[in-house]
Amino acid sequence: KQEVTQIPAALSVPEGENLVLNCSFTDSAIYNLQWFRQDPGKGLTSLLLIQSSQREQTSGRLNASLDKSSGRSTLYIAASQPGDSATYLCAVEFMEYGNKLVFGAGTILRVKS
Amino acid sequence: DADVTQTPRNRITKTGKRIMLECSQTKGHDRMYWYRQDPGLGLRLIYYSFDVKDINKGEISDGYSVSRQAQAKFSLSLESAIPNQTALYFCATSKGGGGNQPQHFGDGTRLSIL
């Protein structure tokens, strides 16, 4: 069974700090990996999608990397701000599972001002 | 207006009741999904539909049914609700025609079964 694991489950950092969120997955045969942000009372917002042929994607202060061989992805947030406080979810589209996503449980991020 | 709209946003009901959650989208996407989210477990796929005539079970379909009334509408039903179906439910959409398409989510329905 394909699984996605996120570490840490929660993280609290002071404003301005650079931080890394981790995601691991059990099968290297994937179509893509996606990072989402979830705010309280809201749905998920897609942040970055890394295709299996790519090593990283960048959007503003966010950079996501993908290492299929080791089954790992990281989401790097530069110069964190209180507005970055949210739950960050990693999801993988495994080839064996078809065009469907398997989600990790998420990392709850709090950026203190 | 939101691209993916879920109704109701909140619902409290009793065990044994039939409940329908509705999802509509204005994105023109072919693919629609229903997930539930429980604390500490992430999102799990209940049902998905890749076009109007295509309905598929996901990871946790027992106790649920769906209807794809049109390209833009996908409803989730709980035929006889039970307390362990208390959760946050999300609808999502994506483009068809292959993978590598991001999914777009509604704001969710918080369902409580007493």
DSSP state of B84: G
**Closest CA–CA distance from residue B54 to any residue of chain A (Å):** 14
In this prediction, the residues of chain B whose per-residue pLDDT falls under 50 are: none
Residue A111 half-sphere exposure, CB side, CA atoms within 13 Å? 18
pLDDT in tens, B75-98: 999 999 999 999 999 999 998 766
Establish if B55 touches chain A: CB-CB under 8 angstroms. no
- Provide the residue-wise pLDDT of chain A in tens; the chain has 113 residues: 789 999 999 999 999 999 999 999 999 899 999 999 999 888 899 999 999 999 999 999 999 999 999 999 999 999 999 999 999 999 999 988 777 899 999 999 999 99
CB contact under 8 A, A44 and B107: no
CB contact under 8 A, A46 and B99: no
- Which among B33, B41, B90 has CB closest to A43? B90
- Which among B33, B44, B102 has CB closest to A46? B102
- Position B1 scores a pLDDT of 54
Q: Residue A97: phi, psi to the nearest 5? A: -95, 0
Cβ-count burial of A46 within 10 angstroms (0-12 exposed, 13-18 middle, 19+ buried)? middle
Angle at A36 between CA B104 and CA B97, to 5 degrees: 40
Establish if B105 touches chain A: CB-CB under 8 angstroms. yes
Question: Which residue, A100, A85, A102, A89, is CA-closest to A36?
Answer: A89
pLDDT in tens, A53-70: 999 999 999 999 999 999
Q: Residue A53: phi, psi to the nearest 5? A: -85, -5
Residue A93 half-sphere exposure, CB side, CA atoms within 13 Å? 19
Chain A CB contacts of B103 below 8 Å: 34, 44, 46, 101
